[in-house]
Amino acid sequence: MDTIDLRNLACPEPVIRTKKAIEAHPNAVLTILLNDAASRENVTRMATSLGATVAAEELGGDEVKLTVTTGEAPAQAEVQPELVACTVPQAGARATVLVKSRYMGIGDDGLGRILMKAFLKTLKTAEPLPERVIFVNGGVHLTTTGSEEIDALEELAGLGVDIVSCGTCLDYFGKLDQVEVGAVGNMFDIVSHLNRASKVIAP
């Protein structure tokens, strides 16, 4: 059993290192040591998405040992030609919205709050609807307990829009357990979503 000590590493390093270890060790049992709640959640979600099973053992304090049992190695990809045509987004492709603050725009914060409320309420009328809305930094206050935007976000989620809040940001503000709508994501997820998006809107 290989032991990987990922304690005291900043996000998204624990996720990246665990992903590499899973891919490099098919049909193996890995022991992952962590001491951060957000990293624990993120590593567990990523490992599960790759087909691994995860069992957690509390070690005291914030420390946890994850026992990750990996599956079969993914099949080798066919050799690709040296030149591959770029994929051009189709007309009407759904965008990803990146919300970086509880305010919309720069200037007066009071006006910024009014604009953000109106933006999120109006977003449900967009055609096509965005594929997802990602909240980072101060934007995570909008998805957590006490937010006035929860109803608007729940309505978007009901229409099939993915709502994702940055786990590191939630942990920083002490709100990791206060998410009212959507899922908690890590930086690996966020970069993947933004990289695959046909377009990104940042209000």
Number of domains in the chain: 2
Number of helices (H) and strands (E) in the chain: give both, helices first: 6, 9
Q: What is the CATH number of the domain that holds 179?
A: 3.40.1260.10
Residues 17 and 54 in one domain: yes
Residues 174 and 107 in one domain: yes
In a domain, 82, yes or no: no
**Containing structural domain, residue 120:** 96-201
In a domain, 65, yes or no: yes
SS3 (DSSP) at 127: coil
pLDDT in tens, the chain (203 residues): 678 998 888 777 888 889 999 988 888 999 999 988 888 888 898 888 888 999 999 888 888 999 999 887 654 444 443 444 444 445 457 899 999 999 999 999 999 999 999 999 999 999 899 999 999 999 999 999 999 999 999 999 999 999 999 999 999 999 999 999 999 998 888 998 998 888 999 99
Amino acid at residue number 192: S
In a domain, 81, yes or no: no
In a domain, 85, yes or no: no
In a domain, 17, yes or no: yes
- b (16+ CB within 10 A) / e for 109-137: eeebbebbbebbeebeeeeeebbbbbbbe
In a domain, 64, yes or no: yes
Residues 193 and 134 in one domain: yes
- Of 29, 50, 69, the one marking the end of a domain is 69
Q: What is the pLDDT of residue 85?
A: 41
Q: What is the pLDDT of residue 121?
A: 92
Residues 107 and 197 in one domain: yes
